[in-house]
Structure 1
Amino acid sequence: MNTVAANIKQQSANQPQTIYKVLIILGLCHLLNDSLQAVVPAMFPILQKSMSLSYTQLGIIAFALNMVSSIMQPVVGWYTDKKPMPYALPIGLTSTLIGIILLALVPSYTLVILSVMLIGIGSAIFHPEGSRVAYMAAGTKRGLAQSIYQVGGNTGQALAPLITALILVPLGQIGGLWFAPVALTAVLLLAYIANWYTSQLAINRKKKTAGSTVTKSLTKKIWIALAILLFLIFARSWYISCMTNFYAFYLIQQYSFSIRESQIYIFAFLAAGALGTFFGGPLADRFGRRNVILMSLIGSMPLTILLPYVPAPLAFVLLLLIGFILMASFSVMVVYAQELVPGKVGTMAGLTVGLAFGMGAVGSVALGSLADAAGLPLTIKMVGLLPLLGLLGLFLPTDSKLEEWKKEI
């Protein structure tokens, strides 16, 4: 019995530990980073009035923000897989700090675009490296770790409507300066994370001297599974982009809401999404990542279709349910991609999260143009059909199949 107990203790000691302190600080930094990014769509109603912008022009602002981030994230992830750069984290947030200050002060549409591009650059550097740190600190609880990291970001995004209602409506564009101290706080916290990251790299280098890793070409079936996963991210991102950028205008038109009232509904959607993100990871650790992905998209489908046809009080309830269910797959898809392609943590994080930003960017322009041409009510109804594409998730390999594939790579 003593021998068995000793073996169990030894196996437990050999398991990597989950570093909750690092994960919590990282989640807080993600909250701060994405709350800064959320200032951009939160400022849309203000900019629309002050600069007389169309829905298409607002979509182009979102495109500039998200496309810069989308293009750069996979590149940053790919490069840092080869050569990790811990101090890129605080440097990236410094770019965001500069962008947020400019956004509060600039008088023209062109300079607004430049400002949001700087914010996008900061986000592009932060997300793949932040996901890598979460992976390093996860131990055996990768789903939970990624959820702690991602829930910070989604909570930051959920603050956008409150930012509009409480700060930007009374103060206007100049209210963006309130977020400069937030950006500076994030820079300082990420300097601490960068120190821990550096120490972990030194430890990992010593471990690698005991053996080497061999990178093999990805098989055709892995490429197909990755393509399906990215397509599902496309469907989810377009829906969320429509809700965050344009649903407030729909509420104002259809229900005669004020800007402040409409932002409460958007906050409810995003806050429920943040809660769903947190629970999605632990649920995936227990019930399987593929199962949670399917539940998220297919489960939200009837609710998104019904949403445009219900009265305002019921719409609020549906927004809570849709946000929770749809965003439960956010962190799960990142971990699924990382396990689909082992050894490419940064690349997969940059690709999955970056694609979410990129598809949101394309969606912002496309949906803004559709709203200008066909009307906002029809646009909202059409977008409600997007989760139907979640049925493609039935073709994703199961978690047990992924474990088999890992042995072949």
Structure 2
Amino acid sequence: MDKKKISLVSLGHLSCDINGGALPAVLPFLRTHYGLSYQATGGLMFAYSCLSSIIQPLFGLMADRLSKPWLIPLGVFLAGIGLTAVGFMSSYWAIFAAIGISGVGAALFHPEGARFANKVSGESKGTGMSIFSIGGNTGFVVGPLLATFFLTMFGMPGMVIFGLLGTVMASILLLLIMRMVAPEAAAAAQRTAQAAYGQPKNVEKAHSANAADSTGKSGEDAVLQNNWREFSKLTGAIITRSVLFIGFNTFIPLYWVSGFGQSKAAGAVALTVFCTFGVLSNILGGVLADKYGFRAIVRLAFALVTPVVLAFSLMPNLYAAYAMLPLLGFVLYVPFSSLVVLGQTYLAKNIGFASGVTLGLATSLGGVFAPVLGWVADNHGLPRTFQCLALVALVGTIFAFTLRKDEEGKKAGKTA
């Protein structure tokens, strides 16, 4: 595993997802400022999530055909600029569009970032993908705190911090990534020039092997095969986890404010507690997956998620709800890297597309259901919304327990 490169792309992941992490903490401010309903507030989450989740697999297909590392810094830049624009818009639909641009930035970043992480992780793909995911998870931890601080201090213009951070980080990433890929590009150009003038067959074979190593495409691709049946079941599990993740990410701050009468800052703190334990659980999940198997970790998490979500909805007071946040973080984050690696295993020929689906759905598609959850909250209260999420979790458990064993999936990817 190339620790330098995996750390770099993890930093990019943090810079991208700090915007998606900040959005739920921004929603209470927007709701108060514009007098929005829960359903309209959920619609803003839909703007970010829908564009990100739908477009992301398309960018994944592009990454499979022709790697474009510069999409990593471009995605970071758009994600930050889009969120900054929210602070300077005067209408609901303008805010909706600005949040959508931020979602497009996330869609650009994730497939290429995950493909890059898979390539440099070597044999330790569970650990490598966990390190990559830690960046995004940390963004979801830092984002709410950053948004709350700057919105409290400066009002809506305080959103400019995200554009500044995105621009600075995108510039750094562009310079470093281009420096990393320059030697590979030069070597490829040299091989092309040598081939044009002719050379011994054994040298051509050696160069061909080197080219395959540097691009990740080789003769092995001819024997790799996609397992769409298992990937479809995995996608079902990922969609349910996505609905749960976005549901709690969106409504935990609102629950603290409207359900327990706490301040917006307290709501951001609750979200940070949830995400912090999630980051720690993600690290643990990657290490355990390398030891016990990706499928085992997914099954463990989904076996626990329904009772934990149901218990959270029944908590009688603020302190009991706080006590449940670490458990929620554990069950929702511990399978994250395993889900991504399983997707890359089942679609061995299209790792970029698999990453676009798993990362796009895992972090975004749940937002498509946010307006529905908002309608439930408007008409029946937030506790009932969380109980609906418990039913969603049960569906995910069914999908998780029908997945093939890790070894079978890997074998299908290598030999089928």
Per the normalisation by structure 1, the TM-score is 0.89
Q: Deviations over 1:307-355 (max 9, x none)?
A: 1222322221211122023211111101111011113111100011112
Which one of 371, 376, 395 corresponds to residue 377 of structure 2? 371
Superposed counterparts of 1:142-157, under 5 Å: 142-157=125-140
Partner Cα separation in structure 2 for residue 302 and residue 273 of structure 1: 17
* SS of equivalent residue, structure 1 residue 395: coil
Which one of 88, 111, 120 corresponds to residue 137 of structure 1? 120
Superposed counterparts of 1:170-249, under 5 Å: 170-191=153-174, 192-197=176-181, 199-200=183-184, 206-208=209-211, 212-215=219-222, 222-249=227-254
Match of 1:76 in 2: 59
Deviation for aligned residue 1:164 = 4.0
Note closer, same or farther for the CA distance 1:104–1:205 as it changes in structure 2 (3 Å cut). Answer: farther
Deviation for aligned residue 1:92 = 2.5
Note closer, same or farther for the CA distance 1:35–1:209 as it changes in structure 2 (3 Å cut). Answer: closer
Match of 1:6 in 2: none
Partner Cα separation in structure 1 for residue 4 and residue 110 of structure 2: 19
Deviation for aligned residue 1:73 = 0.8
Which one of 385, 394, 409 corresponds to residue 391 of structure 2? 385
- Assess if the C-alpha contact under 8 Å between 1:304 and 1:385 holds in 2: no
- Assess if the C-alpha contact under 8 Å between 1:298 and 1:391 holds in 2: no
Partner Cα separation in structure 1 for residue 339 and residue 167 of structure 2: 30
- Assess if the C-alpha contact under 8 Å between 2:13 and 2:135 holds in 1: yes
* SS of equivalent residue, structure 1 residue 385: helix
- Assess if the C-alpha contact under 8 Å between 1:25 and 1:189 holds in 2: no
Superposed counterparts of 1:7-406, under 5 Å: 18-191=1-174, 192-197=176-181, 199-200=183-184, 206-208=209-211, 212-215=219-222, 222-310=227-315, 311-389=317-395, 390-406=397-413
Deviation for aligned residue 1:66 = 1.2
Q: Deviations over 1:120-146 (max 9, x none)?
A: 111111000110111111011111111
Match of 2:200 in 1: none
Paired residue type of 1:347: F
Partner Cα separation in structure 2 for residue 303 and residue 41 of structure 1: 22
Deviation for aligned residue 1:216 = 6.8
Identity percentage of aligned residues: 28
Partner Cα separation in structure 1 for residue 212 and residue 252 of structure 2: 54
Deviation for aligned residue 1:380 = 1.7
Partner Cα separation in structure 2 for residue 243 and residue 261 of structure 1: 15
Partner Cα separation in structure 2 for residue 205 and residue 123 of structure 1: 34
Deviation for aligned residue 1:197 = 4.0
Q: Deviations over 1:264-293 (max 9, x none)?
A: 111111111111112211111111000000
Partner Cα separation in structure 1 for residue 12 and residue 119 of structure 2: 16
Deviation for aligned residue 1:147 = 0.5
Once the two structures are overlaid, the 10-residue window that deviates more, 151-160 or 123-132, is 151-160
Poorly superposed stretches of 4+, deviation over 3 Å? 197-206, 208-211, 213-219
Q: Deviations over 1:356-387 (max 9, x none)?
A: 24422212121112222322221122213332
Once the two structures are overlaid, the 10-residue window that deviates more, 157-166 or 292-301, is 157-166
Note closer, same or farther for the CA distance 1:232–1:281 as it changes in structure 2 (3 Å cut). Answer: same
Gaps of 5+ in 1: 1-17
Note closer, same or farther for the CA distance 1:137–1:253 as it changes in structure 2 (3 Å cut). Answer: same
Note closer, same or farther for the CA distance 1:377–1:97 as it changes in structure 2 (3 Å cut). Answer: closer
* SS of equivalent residue, structure 2 residue 63: helix
Note closer, same or farther for the CA distance 1:98–1:326 as it changes in structure 2 (3 Å cut). Answer: closer
Partner Cα separation in structure 1 for residue 182 and residue 54 of structure 2: 26
Once the two structures are overlaid, the 10-residue window that deviates more, 104-113 or 326-335, is 104-113
Partner Cα separation in structure 2 for residue 52 and residue 66 of structure 1: 22
Partner Cα separation in structure 2 for residue 255 and residue 388 of structure 1: 27
Paired residue type of 1:381: Q
Once the two structures are overlaid, the 10-residue window that deviates more, 223-232 or 327-336, is 223-232
- Assess if the C-alpha contact under 8 Å between 1:298 and 1:387 holds in 2: no
Once the two structures are overlaid, the 10-residue window that deviates more, 80-89 or 367-376, is 367-376
Match of 1:3 in 2: none
Note closer, same or farther for the CA distance 1:199–1:136 as it changes in structure 2 (3 Å cut). Answer: farther
Note closer, same or farther for the CA distance 1:103–1:303 as it changes in structure 2 (3 Å cut). Answer: same
Q: When the two structures are aligned, how many residues end up with a matched partner?
A: 390
Note closer, same or farther for the CA distance 1:91–1:266 as it changes in structure 2 (3 Å cut). Answer: closer
RMSD: 2.1
- Assess if the C-alpha contact under 8 Å between 2:239 and 2:365 holds in 1: yes
